Amino acid sequence: MTSVIKARADDAKSYWLDEGRGSKGGYVREVDFQANSRGVDPLFEGIKIVDCDTHFTEPANLWVDNAPAGMKDKMPHVRRIDDADQWYVMDKHFGSLGGNVIAKDKNKLLGKLSYSTYDEIDPGSFNLDARLEAMDAMGVWAQICYQNGGVTQAGSLVALNDEPLAIAITQIFNDACADRMQATGGRINCMGTLPYWDKALTTSEMRRIIDLGVKGVVLPDRPERLSEGYIAPGGGINPFWEEVFEMCEATGTPLNFHLNASLDANSAIWDNLGFDQRLPIHALIHHIGCAATMSNFMVSGILDKYPKLKIGLIESGAGWVPFWLEGMEHQLSEFRTQQNRKLQKTPKEYFRDNFWVTFWFEDVAPTKLLNEIGADKLLFETDYPHPTSLYPGVQDKLVSVLGQYDYATRKQVLQDNAAKLWNLPL
């Protein structure tokens, strides 16, 4: 028996909700871009601020322009359907261009998930030069970037029934991650993806990602949706993943778990609520999904075999950390989990040694809970260009939540923690 929902051919198509696309029904917030483009606040002078969760929208020509010989006609490409730009692989629908609420005129769309076309969105979403300009305006030196559209969804790639094509799509994406990093002098760092439907392919591509110099890899919380879980059916660490874990530990390459990796949030939301009622709940449930991912690793034994494994919980939020760790310590004690499973550390110790979390909208976590979370465990993010991103008032937010701390603490949270997790040469 398994509790996992199996991967489907339409995973890419449903990665972003159709009802959230388009400006109709949304509200455009007018942004005074110049007033909010003051660069780095004097409080953070000399700090290379790393924005640890952003999304780089896949350029419309990415796969076609980089297609291997004989594959160009098969590659992901954009079609405009019903006034919306949509990804297709051959004739199979692979979803929209992702979450993009920053407009070309620098205003921000509220109440929706994205504008519909590349023509409408801020070029900084998908163009390197424009992205660097946007970063400079926000006072951000480097960004960690995650996918935006659903083209690399493994379930949909497998459903193509064309493994060479699926591998090529994955590798072109990872090559682009390395190219962007090199082209920007390490300022834009996109996270790689794996063809985790096959052990040999997964191991080979993980090695290639490391050789390319890509700074991290995104993993699914439930890989058994498509292949094999992190724990073997009979218990113990699954051999399918051992080489990946070994390589990541040996090279310091972090595993990244993004907030929508774990839970089916819809299962907890009442029926018949409207779009704008469901989405706030949906987002918050996913933060608890990050806590679940962390807890699974803590009780699994994986972190005892690989004690130097680094795990970023991304777009996670941070205020839940003290409560969750306190709860985990109590529960594990009452159920004798640590003794029964011969775990070598407590949850608080695993968190200290293996995990990092991010904040963006929060006030309480960075101002009142920093010591409980750990100043060396907290990362900053903007979530640009997604809904609920901090744009445009990035520096104002940082001043309000970190201004009370000394310079060394500000530098640790905004620069040094990210440099340690992703091995950034800052």
What's the pLDDT at 15? 86
The neighbouring-strand residues paired with 177 are none
What's the pLDDT at 6? 85
Q: pLDDT tens, 72-116?
A: 999 999 999 999 999 999 999 999 999 999 999 999 999 999 999
Phi then psi for residue 121, to 5 deg, are: -90, 160
CA atoms of 167 and 145, how far apart (whole Å): 21
| Encoded tokens for 353 | 């040694």
What's the pLDDT at 353? 98
Q: Are 101 and 387 in contact (CB under 8 A)?
A: yes
CA atoms of 168 and 174, how far apart (whole Å): 10
Taking the chain (426 residues) in consecutive chunks of 10 residues, what is each chunk's mean pLDDT? 77 87 94 92 98 98 98 98 96 96 97 97 98 97 97 96 98 98 98 98 98 98 95 95 98 93 81 93 91 97 98 97 98 97 98 98 98 98 96 96 98 98 97
Cβ neighbours of residue 334 under 8 Å, at least 6 residues apart?
Answer: none
Q: Are 418 and 50 in contact (CB under 8 A)?
A: yes
What's the pLDDT at 17? 84
What's the pLDDT at 281? 93
Q: Which helix (H) or strand (E) holds 170?
A: helix 163-183
> What sign results for the dihedral spanned by CA atoms 134, 136, 139, 145?
positive
Q: Are 221 and 262 in contact (CB under 8 A)?
A: yes
Neighbours of 78 (CB within 10 A): 22
- Greatest Cα pair distance, the chain, in angstroms, is 60
Domain 42-76+128-422 has CATH 3.40.50.1000: no
What's the pLDDT at 262? 63
92, with CB counted inside 10 A (0-12, 13-18, 19+), is middle
Amino acid 47 reads I
> What sign results for the dihedral spanned by CA atoms 408, 414, 418, 419?
negative
Q: Which helix (H) or strand (E) holds 128?
A: helix 128-138
Q: Which helix (H) or strand (E) holds 293?
A: helix 275-300
Write down the pTM of the prediction.
0.97
What's the pLDDT at 261? 60
Q: Are 66 and 176 in contact (CB under 8 A)?
A: yes
